[in-house]
Amino acid sequence: MESVSLTSIQTARARIGDGIHVSPCQLSHHLSELTGLPLHLKLENLQRTGSFKERGALNKLLTLSETERKRGVIAASAGNHAQGVAFHAAARGIRAQIVMPLATPQIKVAATRGYGAEVILHGASYDEACEEALRRRVEQGRTFIHPFDDPEVISGQGTIGLELLEQVPDIEAVVVPIGGGGLIGGVACALKETNPKIRVVGVEPEKLPSMLRAREAGHPVTISAEATIADGIAVLRAGDLTLPLVSRYVDEIVTVDDEEIASAILMLLEQEKTLAEGAGAAALAAVVQSKTNLRHRRTVVLVCGGNIDVTLLAKIIERGLVKDGRMLRVRVYLQDRPGALLALTQILARERANIVETVHNRAYYGVSLGETVIDVTIETRGATHITAISHALREAGFRFERIQ
């Protein structure tokens, strides 16, 4: 089996050719000012299936023999690898079966089926789904396409590194999310074998630092399952092939928590007008939160995927607005008499606070018989505006409390 090398990555790029979109890598003026770095965003979320995963999937598919193509392929994935395999297999007339964890976001399940694959939902994690896929591989004679621990897959992902060298010739650092390690292994190999001075930083979810633990132990270790919004990199065990690549080429691994990732998703949406999933925003989260000192290096952050569940996105946006002081919920105690609510709304109107939602209640929160309570959710302009609203309510004699 061919190992991963600069040559194998160059071969992969020639092989996949026009089958993969050369994603843009643009300088972000806003994020550069915020971080103090010349910061570029490599937008792999703009690939046909919404992530970088189709690079490795296509490269692997194109190496199959005619017999293997006829037998079909099988993969295990939390979503993005599934879509990459499904799309490119269908485009080449290869039957694909994908085993996905039961908790996979519905948008990814629907997309995978939409690309023509047969989807089997099995297990509580990627690792359990992978076990089922390996069982079916033996049972049905299909070729297994691993999401990260395969030389052809890793080499396919490494083609991003070759593109970066052309798009940002003076690149000095790259920050890459880590799940199983296929992406960072391939990218780091392409970059370091060309220019060893380029700093490569990996980013994992704080709850699931499987590659960090593997590096500490000197071999892959299985860690306990945890829930994270970065489901695309929620891997319990680093790859046997990817760990040596990471150990050789990656300078540093840092972690970010879900709140930091959510903030980065909102930042990309608002400031860059680009949609990222949890795994896709993890690298930016690490840079914005100063988890690594890049010393003003010209840096590329990989936005590796954009397949996010819209219900999760809605929660992230709302929580972000609250965190930034642009949405406020207050519980106001009123006299239970005509006109009391009008007096409250007049104050909010004078302060130019837009009411989003109200909940009126007489029976709860320990109110007396002559009182009523109203929970008011309002849009605000930030912390200073909230202070002004609070002052106006107090001046008018209203008793109230902020609801977090």
pLDDT tens, position by position, 186-197: 999 999 999 999
**Alpha carbon 107 to chain centroid, angstroms:** 14
In words, the CATH class of domain 55-144 is alpha beta
What tokens were used for 259? Answer: 């709140």
Q: Count CA within 13 A, CB hemisphere, residue 271.
A: 16
- Residue 1: pLDDT band (50, 70, 90) is very low
pLDDT in tens, 90-132: 999 999 999 998 988 787 788 899 999 999 999 987 778 889 9
Burial of 307 (0-12, 13-18, 19+ CB in 10 A): buried
pLDDT in tens, 12-41: 999 999 999 999 999 999 999 999 999 999
DSSP string of 139-155? Answer: HHTPEE--SSSSHHHHH
- Tell me: pLDDT of 254 over 60: yes
Q: What is the pTM of this model?
A: 0.88
Spans of all domains in the chain: 6-53+154-319, 55-144, 325-402
Measured CA to CA, the distance from residue 189 to residue 301 in angstroms comes to 17
Assign a CATH topology to domain 325-402.
Alpha-Beta Plaits (3.30.70)
Domains 6-53+154-319 and 55-144 share a fold: yes
DSSP string of 59-75? Answer: HHHTT--HHHHHH-EEE
**Residue positions counted in the chain:** 404
- Widest pairwise Cα distance in the chain: 81
Contacts of 102 (CB under 8 A, 6+ apart): 121, 122, 123, 124
Is domain 6-53+154-319 in CATH 2.60.40.420, yes or no? no
